[in-house]
Structure 1
Amino acid sequence: MSSLTMTHAPKGLEGVVATTSKICYIDGDAGVLAYGGIDIHELAEKSNFEETCYLLWHGKLPSENELKELCERLGAERKLDPAIITFLREVPKDAAPMDVLRTAVSALGLYDRDRSNNDHNANVSKAIRLTSQIAMMVAAYDRIRKGKNVVEPDPKLSHAANFLLLLNGERPSSTAERALDIALILHADHELNASTFAARVTAATLSDMHSAITSAIGALKGPLHGGANEAVFHILEKIDASGADPVEYVRQMLAQKKKISGFGHRVYHTEDPRATHLRRMSEDLCKSTGQPKWFEISRKIEQFVKSEKKLNANVDFYSASTYHVLGIDVDLFTPIFAVSRISGWTAHVIEQLDDNRLIRPRADYVGSAYPQHWIPPSQR
């Protein structure tokens, strides 16, 4: 009999503190999100995605030389093994991008030069490679399925600008580049969300980085974790196509007990701090691209839901209209979440392996009372 006291956790482990971490701080009551102690508002206003990656991986901001070196390494790793390109060409053209990404990341592990090395420096190198490669794979698959050529990256461009170049085939405007850059910062990490926890559980078995990230992507694919911004945009599309009043449309959804995606959060009890920036970005981008309707519909929905249901918009709500006006297809919204969150996932895998203990909780048995007995088939 174990000497440890069994603690009974709530369903879904809500509110349970499962580990310690130096990566991400959240105060749900105050609406605070910080990476390495630096507030997300400050990072969104002053930093860039590359610098944020360094902060997550190393726990501090980089010097000028350290940032330059990281950008060079990200650029050098912005390439895919020909076998991966072949795989992307051979999967069914109607395959879901998240399914393709999950399988492709697993395949990447076969070709990684550090695949058998699980030490700290090797895993940082894998984190850099995966950050570059996942962005490339998402963009490359989208072009391949549309019958377009795969675009070569530009070493002079930022990570955000390169992704838009690889996706759309042309250099983005500075406004579009900065908008995606901020979106990547905002989505980079969020403590022990479902996909990050899945990655840490896998890593804790002393499995490899690629297996842990494959686990994370599998968890992100689930509609209760990823995909909410896709659902948001489908609502916006239906309202636009029907010419319906946004408030009346959502009122009818509520009357039919339908979920309005993009509102409320398991952790935040006030406005999601990421939504603050995405709201502004959506407004600016929608207006600058001549598509103000997407922000206007979104804003009316947000105001009504907040008034009627006392729910705040979360990170998914305004990312829907933001990604759309950046020229990103709806079924790529969740893969782009992975393009950003790979920085946080890999940071958590590194942290887990640096001070590891197998994650092995218990289950509260609620089945038939013990002991039961085997009964011959003829007597059942």
Structure 2
Amino acid sequence: MAININDIDLSQYPYLDKGLEGIVAFSSRKSKIDGAKGELSYAGYDIDTLARNSTFEEVCFLLWHERLPNKQELDELNATLTAERDLPETVLNYLRSANPKSEPMAVLRTAVSMLADDDEEVLEMSHEASLRKSIRLTAKTPTIIAAFDRVRNGKEIVAPSKKNSIAFDFLYMLNGEEPGENATRTMDVLLITHAEHGMNASTFTCRSICATLADVHAAVTGAIGSLKGPLHGGANTAVMNMLKSLDPDTDIVAFIKGKLERKEKIMGFGHRVYKTYDPRAKFLRLLAQDLSKEVDMEYLYEWSEAIVKVMKEEKNIDPNVDFFSATVYYSMGIEPDLYTAIFAMARMSGWTAHYLEQLGNNRLIRPRLLYLGETDLEYFPVESRS
């Protein structure tokens, strides 16, 4: 007979909680989230301060070292990141032969895993070697995403220019022309705001894989697989696909209220941790407003503001980082199915930072399982089973 959970002495399972909500699995110095206040900081620095003043490369250093770099350290990191942007020929060949209809996240997952084959330090588990591999992974991920997008659209792959930031080179490789200062800065801010976010599903996956002492390529490949799921990454893609499906003269308020009446989910709202406005969304909201004006798509921003108002009035929930980032990406001419891959491009710095932290104080992840299936069943030969 099956076990009834009501008949179990749960005192032997004191931390049983579906989805591990409220369970502390790790300690970390990488980021701090205060969901009640709507605050996020990276290694002590408020996310809004970093978004307004820092660069993605500085944030990478901060996450890996838990302090901001001096000028010499930043110059050295920039030089290394620039030098490491090229892809092995095996990976380029895979991108050229991949099904152009494949999901970018699926291709990214495979290509990142393939990078291990050409990394001479792949099995070196020291902190120093793992940091070097982390830098290489962070440098090469933008090249993978841009190269596949070019190939699937029948265009030649554009090699990295190797003369500017990750944000600059990504847009250059994606579009085949040098981006302007505003576009580069906007992409930089997007990367900063997506770089790290505590113990989310993909970071938990990364640390769990690291805990087995698997290499960093294996850990971040698993993290990409986790982010690929629509309940983790992909909300901004869903937001943009919803907005794209509407006619410009749509009554957006009536449309959203209709979806709510039908109990349909509005993506980009609410968060498992934040009980108020997502701090990452505040600065992106301003970017969305400015960019929509610049590219004559102001109606998208106006729709977004109207949706925010309806959701607050009807459900008392606020937008998360995905909601306004959708408008920002689209205003930059980036197709929705690339959004989650760009999320992964930014989060590579956070995943590898957590990998390094786990490696420094490791213990195998082994939670308990509460069995609720049948017990004491009698075994019958296959011939006598009905």
What is the TM-score of this pair, normalised by structure 1? Answer: 0.96
Query: What is the aligned partner in structure 1 of residue 261 from structure 2?
Result: 255
Counterpart Cα distance in 2 of 1:203 and 1:139: 28
1:267 aligns with 2:273: yes
CA deviation after TM superposition for structure 1 residue 82, in Å: 1.1
Please tell me whether the aligned partners of residues 122 and 215 of structure 2 are also in contact (alpha carbons under 8 angstroms): yes
Query: What is the aligned partner in structure 1 of residue 251 from structure 2?
Result: 245
Please tell me whether the aligned partners of residues 176 and 285 of structure 1 are also in contact (alpha carbons under 8 angstroms): no
Query: What is the aligned partner in structure 1 of residue 7 from structure 2?
Result: none
Q: In the TM superposition, what whole-angstrom CA distance separates every residue of 1:86-109 from its partner, at most 9, and x where no partner exists?
A: 000011111111110001111111
Compared CA separation, residues 83 and 300, structure 1 to 2 (3 A): same
Query: What is the aligned partner in structure 2 of residue 81 from structure 1?
Result: 88
Counterpart Cα distance in 1 of 2:247 and 2:54: 35
Counterpart Cα distance in 2 of 1:334 and 1:68: 29
Give 1:44-123 correspondences, 5 Å limit: 44-123=51-130
Query: What is the aligned partner in structure 1 of residue 297 from structure 2?
Result: 291
Query: What is the aligned partner in structure 2 of residue 178 from structure 1?
Result: 185
Counterpart Cα distance in 2 of 1:379 and 1:131: 55
Query: What is the aligned partner in structure 2 of residue 41 from structure 1?
Result: 48
Query: What is the aligned partner in structure 2 of residue 207 from structure 1?
Result: 214
Q: Which runs of 5+ in 2 are unaligned?
A: 1-10
1:345 aligns with 2:351: yes
CA deviation after TM superposition for structure 1 residue 15, in Å: 1.2
Counterpart Cα distance in 2 of 1:379 and 1:138: 52
Please tell me whether the aligned partners of residues 15 and 23 of structure 2 are also in contact (alpha carbons under 8 angstroms): no
Overall identity of the aligned pairs, in %: 48
Counterpart Cα distance in 2 of 1:96 and 1:45: 32
Counterpart Cα distance in 1 of 2:330 and 2:385: 63
2:301 is aligned with what amino acid?
F
CA deviation after TM superposition for structure 1 residue 240, in Å: 3.3
Q: In the TM superposition, what whole-angstrom CA distance separates every residue of 1:208-242 from its partner, at most 9, and x where no partner exists?
A: 0000011000001100001100110011112235x
Counterpart Cα distance in 1 of 2:253 and 2:220: 40
SS in 1 for 2:247: helix
Please tell me whether the aligned partners of residues 98 and 221 of structure 1 are also in contact (alpha carbons under 8 angstroms): yes
Query: What is the aligned partner in structure 2 of residue 230 from structure 1?
Result: 237
**Alignment: residue pair count:** 375
What is the TM-score of this pair, normalised by structure 2? Answer: 0.95
1:196 aligns with 2:203: yes
Q: In the TM superposition, what whole-angstrom CA distance separates every residue of 1:258-280 from its partner, at most 9, and x where no partner exists?
A: 10000000000010000101111
Query: What is the aligned partner in structure 2 of residue 167 from structure 1?
Result: 174
SS in 1 for 2:24: coil
1:285 is aligned with what amino acid?
L
Q: In the TM superposition, what whole-angstrom CA distance separates every residue of 1:45-85 from its partner, at most 9, and x where no partner exists?
A: 11110000000001110011000000000000010011111
Query: What is the aligned partner in structure 1 of residue 378 from structure 2?
Result: 373
SS in 2 for 1:34: strand
Compared CA separation, residues 291 and 204, structure 1 to 2 (3 A): same
Q: In the TM superposition, what whole-angstrom CA distance separates every residue of 1:291-317 from its partner, at most 9, and x where no partner exists?
A: 212111111111111111101000000
Counterpart Cα distance in 1 of 2:333 and 2:40: 28
Counterpart Cα distance in 2 of 1:254 and 1:211: 41
SS in 1 for 2:173: helix
Please tell me whether the aligned partners of residues 239 and 249 of structure 1 are also in contact (alpha carbons under 8 angstroms): no
SS in 1 for 2:76: helix
SS in 2 for 1:114: coil
1:150 is aligned with what amino acid?
I
CA RMSD, Structure 1 to Structure 2 (Å):
1.3
Counterpart Cα distance in 1 of 2:361 and 2:14: 23
Please tell me whether the aligned partners of residues 8 and 364 of structure 1 are also in contact (alpha carbons under 8 angstroms): no
Counterpart Cα distance in 1 of 2:271 and 2:69: 32
Counterpart Cα distance in 1 of 2:180 and 2:358: 39
Counterpart Cα distance in 1 of 2:163 and 2:332: 21
Query: What is the aligned partner in structure 1 of residue 8 from structure 2?
Result: none
CA deviation after TM superposition for structure 1 residue 8, in Å: 3.2
Candidates 140, 147, 158, aligned match of 2:147 = 140
Query: What is the aligned partner in structure 1 of residue 306 from structure 2?
Result: 300
2:291 is aligned with what amino acid?
L
CA deviation after TM superposition for structure 1 residue 5, in Å: 6.0
1:313 aligns with 2:351: no
Counterpart Cα distance in 1 of 2:19 and 2:178: 44
Counterpart Cα distance in 2 of 1:213 and 1:65: 29
Compared CA separation, residues 379 and 83, structure 1 to 2 (3 A): closer
Please tell me whether the aligned partners of residues 278 and 322 of structure 1 are also in contact (alpha carbons under 8 angstroms): yes
CA deviation after TM superposition for structure 1 residue 374, in Å: 2.2
Compared CA separation, residues 7 and 240, structure 1 to 2 (3 A): same
CA deviation after TM superposition for structure 1 residue 321, in Å: 0.6
SS in 2 for 1:247: helix
Q: In the TM superposition, what whole-angstrom CA distance separates every residue of 1:152-171 from its partner, at most 9, and x where no partner exists?
A: 22222111111111111111
Please tell me whether the aligned partners of residues 239 and 245 of structure 1 are also in contact (alpha carbons under 8 angstroms): no
SS in 1 for 2:246: helix
